[in-house]
Chains A and B, each alone.
Chain A
């Protein structure tokens, strides 16, 4: 995974609460068996006026001029400013892949849905939680000042405005460490393989029914 330390980028405001993962990446694109190529279909139903299907040439589709991502002013944005409960709904990690593939590196919101929040860290996308009134202020400033850019510093855990104002944010120590160094979670866990095996031995004594082999059990309907 790509490490994340500090990022400065143009901010695009998405002013609606409860943005769900179906909206971030509609289901027809989940049929891909790859992790890349979802960028052109980020917010597909909002971004285009015509229905989209996998395999289409999306650059030829009719673009919705009213959708904020299509506003030339926000072209090249890498920080998404959002409202409460961003990423709710389905567990699809494709939502994070689509944001990353589009070029987004940071999402700032007053709150995130749990699974989306966790998926973000696995892919080097930084979700930043700021108080609702701070987010409100950022929305106003982004709207008022074309070219508005923020700096997000994971090491110091702060968001810095163009005026040099700083807003602190919290991230779990363990998640922060992994993201700062771009560490492979699985390799980290496998360092504790002996402890996992010891747990399994202990647990097999306590709860042997959890160690039945599904393949060995003849499974016919009741």
Chain B
């Protein structure tokens, strides 16, 4: 301990000297101002090809049961080992039941996939949480929760919502199964640098306008391909005001704007969030990490290829009405009319969406009745999400026309925390089902799904056709809006239900 302390001190003194020297050099040859993305990228380049393709080093590889079996099979067929097993964290989440698990998984196909993951982590000696581990949960909830994903890291997972971890000031992005195999075998990925995009959200979000509403409003503004080819940094007063969990919701949805990655600069909130997490550095190592992380922000004057500015003060709670996250309206709005759309391809898309959703143009959003309500997913299943929903639900009842309202916590530890706060009772007394953690009805790979024609207020991330079950109709909303809709039986301005 003593040795570590003095070594830490010596190191700090050394870095101070290096910093002074760098400052001096900087005055003579000014370093170009760099974006957060530049910094994260440059720190991870192992080598670069003449065409600019870089071999990028990966610090953390999250693995789940759906996109990994073919990757492990590839390693076996080629006789390859895992390059650095200690960087992997594996957990089953997509297929796990959210009801009683004592009988295991009933669906034989889902069971094979979860068992295949268990066999693979044993064979290759990888860190993993099993289905019965209290720490099990959605991969993008447990990474930050455990301190397994940290500021300054490169984080990948065979899952598009890996962008979530960018909330900690990390470079985090989703990859396909071939790339999962590539990272397992080499700890690297061949990547071309994306363009840098800044989404600045100024002002102060009004009450009931949450990170989810900001995310949906951004997507409504720039479209689901608005961020394609870009790494997206979120900044501005409204982002700094968000909690770290709120930033996770926002970065999670950056893939719905098409972005390669989403990220937020490190600040005191980030450090307070990470400090003391099970896998976060401790003691002298923490001091060093904290000092290094202080630089994880875009420099003043750094240039972005594209900048989008929104005023949070003008935002309202959002509800999607179509089959793409960009098809979104404020809760006070109406379902739009495709005849008013000038672009032919877009108008066609809107017509198809309205037909699938069973909606008429001009219908007030608040007149849309609901069959089911789902609070959960890697977007909105953390403790603050559950608190926000419980606050709306407390002392109220789920409306009679709502057949099923369910809360699926993001992890075993979120569930435990919520129960310690009595939130489970609030939900149960109102008529919600209180479930075990997993991806659940966000993509309906387990038994939780919509039946054809059923309409759902969902805190998840995708309203694609069939996403929550074939023929199911999904409206994306915040946890507070989902809770308010469960109580009212239709969408409702939470400001009217609960007051400001």
Contact = CB atoms under 8 A, between A and B. Distances in A.
Contacts of A83: 345
A195 B47 CA distance: 8
Contacts of B292: 206-207
Given A54-B109, A208-B285, A210-B153, A189 B445 contact: no
Contacts of B385: none
Nearest to A190: B186
A114 B229 contact: yes
Contacts of A119: 176-179
Contacts of A89: 160, 462, 464
Interface in A84-101: 84-85, 88-94, 96
A61 to B, nearest CB: 13
Interface residues of A, number: 73
Given A20-B464, A22-B466, A93 B176 contact: yes
A206 B42 CA distance: 14
A137 to B, nearest CB: 14
B166 interface: no
A213 B112 CA distance: 29
A172 interface: yes
Interface string B221-262: 000110011000000000000000000000000000010100
Nearest to B259: A114
A196 B188 contact: yes
B49 interface: yes
Contacts of B177: 35, 93-94, 119
A30 interface: yes
Given A114-B258, A189-B186, A88 B224 contact: yes
Contact of A91 (B84, B175, B352): B175
B6 interface: no
B278 A221 contact: yes
A111 B288 contact: no
Interface residues of B, number: 89
Contacts of A51: 452, 470
B185 A31 contact: no
B160 A90 contact: yes
A215 B127 contact: yes
Nearest to A186: B185
B69 interface: yes
A31 B113 contact: yes
A217 B174 contact: no
B412 to A, nearest CB: 8
Interface stretch (B30-38, B53-61, B308-316): B53-61
Nearest to A193: B186
A28 B449 CA distance: 11
Given A90-B160, A122-B178, A174 B78 contact: no
B134 interface: yes
A210 B59 contact: yes
A116 to B, nearest CB: 8
A115 B178 CA distance: 11
A118 B352 CA distance: 29
Contacts of A96: 176
Nearest to B452: A51
Given A33-B113, A91-B176, A209-B281, A221 B470 contact: no
A122 B53 CA distance: 15
Contacts of B86: 211-216
A119 B67 CA distance: 12
B50 interface: yes
Given A18-B324, A88-B225, A214 B148 contact: yes
B95 A203 contact: no
B57 A203 contact: yes
A162 interface: no
Interface of A: 15-18, 20, 22-23, 26-28, 30-35, 45, 51, 54-55, 83-85, 88-94, 96, 111-115, 118-119, 122-123, 172-175, 185-186, 188-190, 192-193, 195-196, 199-200, 203, 206-222
User: 4 tightest CB-CB pairs across the interface, nearest first?
Assistant: A122-B178, A209-B281, A119-B176, A33-B69
9 contacts: A20-B324, A22-B462, A22-B466, A27-B444, A84-B225, A85-B225, A88-B224, A93-B178, A112-B228
